Amino acid sequence: MKWIMALLVAGILLLGCAQTGGVAQETGGGTGSGQPATGGSGGQVIGVGETTGGTGGSGEAAAGTGGGGGAIIGVEAPTASEGDVTVYIRNFEFVPETVTVRQGQTVYWVNEDNIPHTVRMIGVIDSPYIAKDGEPFWHTFVEAPGTYEYTDGIQASMHGTVIVTR
């Protein structure tokens, strides 16, 4: 009987901790996005683009979801300005494959394929899944001028280049 009570108390404590949740924030200075965020049920997820409450306990920058009753804080995409560039993910290619932007301008990646893709630029970007018909992923290039090569973290054969100028 003591074992049953001990297990019951432990189960209640664990359930209470899981429902408390936590704050899961993204990081990624200057990117307007970051790593996938994870929060417990009822926790807070800071996402990117349109975010909606839900029953899950995790969120991704492109479509964050939070646990039931948790607060969702959305980060709106920057307003497109002259010189910003859109790269389309189409037929397992980045189109155009190479783009040039001035330092401080934004590149938007829009997925038109039927499967999710990512943008991985070592030391600069590691995007969450970019779903078809979902919010675009974007990065504002505050990095030093130079040539930045990237791949899709899912389909490693997909390559692209961003050239940043002053």
Q: What is the pLDDT of residues 41-99, one digit of tens each?
A: 333 223 344 333 333 333 334 444 444 443 333 456 677 778 899 999 999 999 999 99
Output the pLDDT for position 77: 65
Which of 39-43, 83-87, 111-115, 146-150 comes out lowest in average pLDDT? 39-43
| Mean pLDDT across 141-156 | 97
| Mean pLDDT across 26-30 | 38
Q: What are 39's strand-pairing partners? A: none
Whether 10 shows a pLDDT value over 50: the answer reads: no
Can you give the residue ranges of every domain in the chain? Answer: 22-75, 85-165
Residue pair 33/75 in contact (Cβ under 8 Å)? The answer is yes
First to last CA, the chain: 73
Between CA 69 and CA 100 the distance in angstroms is 43
User: Mean of the per-residue pLDDT values for the chain?
Assistant: 69
Place of tokens 């029953």: 55
CATH code for the domain defined by 85-165: 2.60.40.420
Output the pLDDT for position 27: 36
pTM beyond cutoff 0.75: no
Place of tokens 């001028």: 145
Higher pLDDT, 33 or 51: 33
